[in-house]
Amino acid sequence: MAQKAALLPGSCHPNWVAGMLALLLCMRFSFCLAETTVRDFRIGWVMANPDGNFDRPTIGINGQWPIPQLMVTVGDRMILNVHNDLGNASTSLHFHGLFQNGTNHMDGAVGVTQCAIPAGGFFTYDILFEQPGTYWYHSHAEGQYMDGLRGAIVVHDPNGPYEGEYDEEIVLSISDWYHELSVDLIHQLINVENPTGAEPVPSSALINDTQNLKISVKPDTTYLVRFVNIGGFAAQYIWIEGHSMRVVEVDGVWTEPAHADMLYITPAQRYSVLLTTRGDISKNFALVCAMDEDLFDVIPDGQNSNVTAWLVYDATRPLPEPQPVEEFEAFDDFGLVPVDRLSIFDHVDYSFSLTVEMDNLRDGANYAFFNDVTYTQPKVPSLYTSLSVGATNASNPIVYGTHTNTYIFRRHDVIELILNNGDDGRHPFHLHGHNFQVVHRSGENDGVFNPDDLAASDFPRVPMRRDTLFVEGNGNFVIRFRADNPGVWLFHCHIEWHMDQGLIATFVEAPEALQSLQVPENHFEACRAARKPTVGNAAGNIVNVFDLKGENRPPGRLPEGFTAKGYVALFFSTVAALLGMATIAWYGLIDPDIKDISADRQLLVNSEGD
């Protein structure tokens, strides 16, 4: 599929010109090992059945699923001509973990750096791979990547610290898998019929987009195994029977080797490990992934949370069933030390905190909040607001709307973000445009971060850096990064369901330095095709950018003192009254923790409609 720009003399595609230009630039500046490829990506529906249970419509590229793994080398450039052939859905592509330094408009976040590419639309992503490591790409539009539009990216590093220490490379994606379309699942999730916000539970787990994968290995050989969780909800435990691993990369950051027998990998996280195979070929070994069931409110009948692959030393020998594990004891990433030994940013210029909460709004559905605000997509993508209201007004958070959780960062400041989790589940948070130093992470139920509890000397001298970090249930973490990448970057939970429930903040970094950004015309065309404005504040107002009349809003708040439990009670007793089925009034008594109310719910709500 990939075509080298230089080998394309017959082509008259406009991007051939861009490719040629890149080649000329490359010759001029003599980084000629770097390669520019131009690829056409036709995003469309295909049928797939990766868990052997159920054929379902799945989003593929160029008629294929799994979608291609992007294998490049540091310095390579890829021009992706994306055609949306879905017919009934808009789309986008985000390149997870790439900083997009100077190319904020290529970040792919719908409503932030672009409008969704409408059905039938065309959009070019021009990506320079400047960071080595393991990344991935996925749709950043309404839960869609869980329908299949997600794949691994590997940026090879010829000067990497472990070059020469391994013989071969293996890339393994890990994911959860659903049998229903994301749009339908989102509708079920954010719904008066689901007042406790119970998330849809995946049907199965996949390794490399399949099950029972056989990985041929040679004895006495060291592999660099790259794990990337491209799932949408489930974190997974990973272990390999009879083998141990040495972690050497976390989210694109090379680390000093750290021994691990079991990994815990949330959606969007990556680990590379060195795996040395055994000296004899007398046995094959299971590689097992187990979804973290603590996240699931209910385990549906027949669901298997586990998926097995095998290291196959000898194809003629049996593939052993994995041994049950008594207790999951996963490697703790907190102690990882980056090879570059970047010290802690010990002078903080701007510190702020975000508190996570889940609650119901007036429509009865369950939403997610940062500091009492549930994210609601603005009418104008925030980047376009930044570029159209003038440099001074672009530094005023008001123009980005009242429901976008916008924070403005001054260029080069060291930012400290304190995340307090008021919810009892783990959440993996991702920051676009950066990785960050993890200076503190509490245990479960440790509550709100209190700076007085820790002295500066309690922080690691060389903290781990990564771009996706989980916070423990009712715990907290503290991260730091330098605002050295002008742009509009999201910070959000990477559990896709929680993102859809609004667990998103917008960081506008050095907007004055962004003003010269040149956004290609086909980006604005995507907006026009969808009749979306491309200038003005969050409400599309350009005359008075402080007037947010008409901006998108979430449903209103519930009256004070109204709890989810009360809502469940009210909802079901109302339905009961309506249907004259007084017998179900007992629902009013149920504990809010008992989230499985699905059985009778179906019957009731069907008659209520929406």
Total of residues contacting Cu ion (CB under 5 A): 4
Look up tokens 């010759």; give the residue. 27
- Binding to Cu ion by CB under 5 A, coded x per residue (else -) over 389-428, reads --------------------------------------x-
Residue whose CB is less far from ligand NAG, 419 or 539 = 539
How far from each other are the two terminal CA atoms of the chain, in whole angstroms?
45
Assess contact for 197 and 189: CB atoms under 8 A: yes
Site for Cu ion in 440-469 (CB under 5 A): none
Comparing CA positions, the residue from 369, 390, 367, 487 lying closest to residue 431 is 487
- Binding to Cu ion by CB under 5 A, coded x per residue (else -) over 477-516, reads ----------------x-x--x------------------
In the list 46, 183, 462, 581, the residue contacting ligand NAG (rule: CB under 6 A) is 183
The DSSP code sequence of 301-361 is: TT---EEEEEEES-TTS--PPPPP-SS--PPPGGG--BTT-PPP--S-SEEEEEEEEEEEB
* Dist. CA 328–CA 336, nearest whole Å: 20
User: What is residue 574's three-state secondary structure?
Assistant: helix
In the list 304, 402, 552, 573, the residue contacting ligand NAG (rule: CB under 6 A) is 304
In the list 19, 66, 195, 487, the residue contacting ligand NAG (rule: CB under 6 A) is 66
Instruction: Establish if 295 lies at the interface with Cu ion (CB under 5 A).
Output: no
Compute CA 59 distance to the chain's CA centroid, rounded to the nearest angstrom.
Answer: 17
Look up tokens 């199965």; give the residue. 204
Residue whose CB is less far from ligand NAG, 66 or 232 = 66
Instruction: Establish if 424 lies at the interface with ligand NAG (CB under 6 A).
Output: no
- Binding to ligand NAG by CB under 6 A, coded x per residue (else -) over 330-369, reads ----------------------------------------
Compute CA 93 distance to the chain's CA centroid, rounded to the nearest angstrom.
Answer: 12
By CB atoms closer than 10 A (0-12, 13-18, 19+), residue 67 is buried
In the list 316, 392, 457, 518, the residue contacting ligand NAG (rule: CB under 6 A) is 392
Residue whose CB is less far from ligand NAG, 66 or 533 = 66
Q: Quote the least distance from Cβ 358 to Cu ion, whole Å.
A: 9
Instruction: Establish if 484 lies at the interface with ligand NAG (CB under 6 A).
Output: yes
Q: Quote the least distance from Cβ 355 to ligand NAG, whole Å.
A: 26
Q: Residue 121, Cβ neighbours under 10 Å: how many?
A: 20
Comparing CA positions, the residue from 523, 504, 492 lying closest to residue 384 is 523
* Dist. CA 260–CA 65, nearest whole Å: 32
Instruction: Establish if 168 lies at the interface with ligand NAG (CB under 6 A).
Output: no
Contacting range for ligand NAG; rule: CB under 6 A; set: 389-397, 461-469, 523-531, 564-572: 389-397
* Dist. CA 464–CA 309, nearest whole Å: 30
Residue whose CB is less far from Cu ion, 430 or 523 = 430
Residue whose CB is less far from Cu ion, 107 or 423 = 423
In the list 427, 434, 440, 595, the residue contacting ligand NAG (rule: CB under 6 A) is 434
Residue whose CB is less far from ligand NAG, 160 or 475 = 160
By CB atoms closer than 10 A (0-12, 13-18, 19+), residue 238 is buried
* Nearest residue relative to ligand NAG (C-beta): 390
Q: Residue 480, Cβ neighbours under 10 Å: how many?
A: 22
Question: Given the rule CB under 5 A, which residues bind Cu ion?
Answer: 427, 493, 495, 498
Question: Given the rule CB under 6 A, which residues bind ligand NAG?
Answer: 45, 57, 66, 69, 87-88, 99, 101, 170, 181, 183, 208, 213, 215, 290, 304-306, 324-325, 390, 392-393, 434, 484-485, 544-546
